Chains A and B, each alone.
Chain A
């Protein structure tokens, strides 16, 4: 069931420059939510503007956490919130990543694509083997993971998150890859993982978030599919990367 609700802000923090972490009280225990699913969120100061599609970072009983990169006015407004404020939320939305029971999974995130994979990693001790690689511009954007890559080498390995994927897949007998991040990273990863089952969570500009406006379509298979309703998680090999 998709609900439009006004959720109480429990906590606002800034774990990294340009990022805000929101904890919201859903008011009731949350069930059936999967990593990759998202909510359309809007701070009260943004009334009249579009909601922003934000991937879930974690669910604990009735608490929803989001880690949001500040990129414009809509996301900037989340940084101004205080505990006790309310956030308009439509959700839960989207399909989420498939289950990983018994699988050996490589999680690859880039920049703001961190949250769904971090959630899978945190759940993985009960589900299966996960190795989480995260890539970002610099130490400023670094979040907890197994292997960190920074463009400037300020923390972790200097280079791209895709640099050692080949070796890591072989070394850890990986049979499933999940990814989320910038399109060039996902396209490169798709090339590198052609022989392995690979799912990506895509980002898109959205107006409705629920499958009405057709604004978030991306080229998938022989058609355009909606990131909000058909995704955001897609089989990586089905996406026509060159058209994005």
Chain B
């Protein structure tokens, strides 16, 4: 599938289609179709991005944590995860054994020192090809967006991390800021080798009959179809100023959606909420892109940021 090859900073991607952290797991690679064949052959993915881990295990937020709206999904999971140790001891060996594609580990800390300790601990594991620094989760108090809304903090954090790793260092940005381009430039100047955007938008739903918020935390993160135009505009905006590659996500459900993000400035795309509404979607998207590019003698890498 030469047509859809791409790269993300230091990583060569055999496919420009990846998955968004928190919306994908090995469970999807195990799903079978009616004939007993894998619904999603992992080779259709350029990389596997794992669910964000934090230093300590996190129980996550109370239920309800999900609510589906007319054109997207609200969530308030709260980064439930087994913590760094639990991940390294229990999850990483299985990922190592299963994956034949690059593994990008998404992680978040509650202080700059904690981020540094996490990356230092993970650095010796060769099966980790890169990191996604999650400074944009809207559903936790200490980690996540607490770091991602101030360019000076992003700069301080990423510059400390950049000297601790030779692997791909991707910084995932939040759309819930006044100027995402400033955050992107801060990450770039600090030594990030690529960017990921967008994390979820703030979102909310209320039962008008009872007045009760649909999520236990009332406000959560909004993803899915409804966010695509917003994500596309932000990817475009960042691509206009940033020199490092962009991994784009935000409502991608089809290969046509993916292609729009490539034109807007993405080097690769990640499928998120569509994993839930259309299990196997990343494989179909990769296949669709491949067929389109082949039929028209196009290469994804030639189309990046070529919006007219």
Minimum distance in angstroms from B27 CB to a CB of chain A:
4
Minimum distance in angstroms from B108 CB to a CB of chain A:
15
B residues near A207, Cβ cutoff 8 Å: 66, 68, 73, 75, 273, 276
**Is there contact, CB below 8 Å, between B77 and A3?**
no
**Is there contact, CB below 8 Å, between A50 and B34?**
no
Is B80 an interface position by the 8 A CB rule? Answer: yes
Minimum distance in angstroms from A1 CB to a CB of chain B:
6
**Is there contact, CB below 8 Å, between A224 and B59?**
yes
**Is there contact, CB below 8 Å, between B77 and A214?**
yes
A interface, over-half SS: loop
Is A210 an interface position by the 8 A CB rule? Answer: yes
Fill in one digit per residue for A193-223: 1 if any B CB lies within 8 Å of its CB, else 0.
Answer: 0000000000011111011111111110001
**Chain B residue with Cβ nearest A228:** B27
**Is there contact, CB below 8 Å, between A208 and B34?**
no
**Is there contact, CB below 8 Å, between B28 and A223?**
no
**Chain B residue with Cβ nearest A72:** B68
Q: CB within 8 A of B25: which of A212, A217, A219, A223?
A: A212
A residues near B203, Cβ cutoff 8 Å: none
Q: Give the one of A49, A51, A217 with max B CB within 10 A.
A: A217
Interface residues in A, total, Cβ within 8 A: 31
Minimum distance in angstroms from A76 CB to a CB of chain B:
14
B interface, over-half SS: loop
Interface residues on B, range: 35 or more
**Is there contact, CB below 8 Å, between A212 and B32?**
no
A residues near B28, Cβ cutoff 8 Å: 210, 212
**Is there contact, CB below 8 Å, between B63 and A3?**
no
B residues near A211, Cβ cutoff 8 Å: 25, 27
Q: How far is the CA of A216 from the CA of B61 in the complex (A)?
A: 11
Q: Give the one of A5, A6, A214 with max B CB within 10 A.
A: A214
Minimum distance in angstroms from B19 CB to a CB of chain A:
10
**Is there contact, CB below 8 Å, between A224 and B64?**
no
Minimum distance in angstroms from A8 CB to a CB of chain B:
11
Fill in one digit per residue for A1-15: 1 if any B CB lies within 8 Å of its CB, else 0.
Answer: 111111000000000
Is A171 an interface position by the 8 A CB rule? Answer: no
A residues near B75, Cβ cutoff 8 Å: 207, 213, 215
> Assuming the A-B contacts A2-B32, A4-B32, A223-B59, are A215 and B277 also in contact, with contact meaning beta carbons closer than 8 angstroms in the complex?
no
Is A244 an interface position by the 8 A CB rule? Answer: yes
Minimum distance in angstroms from B207 CB to a CB of chain A:
12
**Is there contact, CB below 8 Å, between B32 and A1?**
yes
**Is there contact, CB below 8 Å, between B34 and A5?**
yes
Is A131 an interface position by the 8 A CB rule? Answer: no
Is B307 an interface position by the 8 A CB rule? Answer: no
Is A48 an interface position by the 8 A CB rule? Answer: yes
Is B275 an interface position by the 8 A CB rule? Answer: yes
Q: How far is the CA of A211 from the CA of B22 in the complex (A)?
A: 11
> Assuming the A-B contacts A90-B31, A208-B27, are A48 and B225 also in contact, with contact meaning beta carbons closer than 8 angstroms in the complex?
yes
Is B280 an interface position by the 8 A CB rule? Answer: yes
Minimum distance in angstroms from A3 CB to a CB of chain B:
5
**Chain B residue with Cβ nearest A215:** B66
Q: CB within 8 A of A3: which of B25, B34, B62, B64?
A: B34
9 CB contacts below 8 A, A to B, read A2-B30, A50-B277, A205-B66, A212-B27, A213-B23, A214-B80, A217-B77, A217-B80, A244-B63
Residues of A within 8 A of B (CB): 1-6, 27, 48-51, 90, 204-208, 210-219, 223-224, 243-244
Residues of B within 8 A of A (CB): 22-25, 27-28, 30-34, 36, 39, 51, 59-60, 62-68, 73, 75, 77, 80, 225, 253, 273, 275-280
- The 8 A-B pairs at the shortest CB distance, nearest first, are namely A215-B66, A212-B25, A207-B276, A210-B27, A5-B34, A214-B80, A205-B66, A3-B32
Q: A2-B27, A205-B63, A210-B27 are in contact. List 12 more A-B contacts (CB 8 A).
A: A3-B36, A4-B279, A4-B280, A6-B34, A205-B65, A205-B66, A207-B276, A208-B279, A212-B28, A212-B275, A215-B77, A224-B80
